[in-house]
Amino acid sequence: MPDRPENVDEAFARLVAGFHAPTERSANPWPEAENVSDDGDEVPDDDLQTPAVTTPPVAARESGVDRLDTDATWEDEGHFVPPDPPPIPRPAPIRLAAWLAVLVGPVLMTVVAALGWQVPALVTTGLVVGFVSGVVYLIATMGDGPRDPYGPDNGAVV
């Protein structure tokens, strides 16, 4: 444990009193070669050489015509035309039936209730059982991860 002064207030007063005291200039922690003059003017180093300035070739110099702004470049601007998407795959018949039961069952129950129709209990039970079994089937056959874990479209994976 570092030594602690007996009187903390006294030590703090010494620190504050010595805040503006001049420091030793010879105790710089950097090498002498990195010192700069006090007035801010740096002394040029004799080892540094300025590179020779050369003029660019005639083709690279500014000309009155911009090579990228001609009629030929505007005609073929490189407009991207994406390829036609592949056809949507047909779902398996059981999966299609499950989706129909999940989506159509509640809609039919809502329409029947809104219009006040009396339907047999067997129809109502069938719609409820179809909805529940469709949800259970869709959840049970849901994959644990992406179809292609090494594919290019895996999004932001944390």
pLDDT band at 1 (very low <50, low <70, confident <90, very high): very low
C-beta separation of 82 from 114 below 8 A: no
Tokens of 38: 């006090």
Instruction: Give pLDDT, residue 22.
Output: 78
Return the structure tokens found at 140.
């049970």
How confident is the prediction for the chain on average, in pLDDT?
Answer: 79
Residue-wise pLDDT tens digits, 40-78? 565 566 656 666 666 666 555 555 666 666 666 666 666
* 3-state DSSP assignment of residue 32: helix
Instruction: Name the DSSP letter for residue 66.
Output: -
The pTM score is 0.42
117, 156 Cβ separation under 8 angstroms: no
User: Could you report the per-residue pLDDT of 79-116, keeping only the tens digit for each?
Assistant: 778 899 999 999 899 999 999 999 999 999 999 999 99
